[in-house]
């Protein structure tokens, strides 16, 4: 199953067993980046992704960072996340 969600910096959307903490969204040397905390019942990781990147979570699925909406300054950025869940994941 595929799920798409928009999320603001500071939020924690969930996709089944995966919780995603949107830690930072912004521009680094003009390039949009997002720092995400990924948590499942059996694992956790902090990753920095570029727009268009994907991160595979073993036995759970793949999280895609489809879009980053960020600007210079202190405005909280937003991201569009797409999660492709593995069919047999609980």
pLDDT of residue 17: 95
Query: What's the CA gap between 58 and 63, in Å, rounded?
Result: 11
Q: Is the pTM of this model over 0.85?
A: yes
pLDDT of residue 89: 43
Q: Domain segments of the chain: what residues?
A: 2-85
The answer to whether the CB of 37 falls within 8 A of the CB of 29 is: no
Length of the chain, in residues:
90
Q: Which residues contact 35 (CB under 8 A, 6 or more apart)?
A: 23, 24, 25, 46, 47, 48
Distance spanning both ends of the chain, measured CA to CA = 12
Digits of tens for pLDDT over the chain (90 positions)? 999 999 999 999 999 999 999 999 998 888 899 999 999 999 999 999 999 999 999 999 999 999 999 877 667 899 999 999 988 644
45 forms beta bridges with 38
The verdict on domain 2-85 having CATH code 2.60.98.40 is yes
């Amino acid at each position: 199953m595929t799920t798409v969600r928009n999320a603001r910096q500071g939020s924690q959307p969930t996709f089944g067993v995966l919780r995603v903490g949107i830690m930072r969204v912004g521009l680094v040397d003009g390039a949009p980046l997002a720092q995400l905390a990924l948590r499942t019942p059996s694992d956790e990781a902090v990753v920095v992704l570029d727009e268009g990147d994907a991160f595979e979570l073993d036995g759970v699925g793949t999280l895609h960072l489809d879009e980053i909406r960020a600007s210079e300054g202190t405005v909280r950025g937003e991201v569009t996340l797409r999660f492709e869940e593995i069919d047999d994941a609980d």
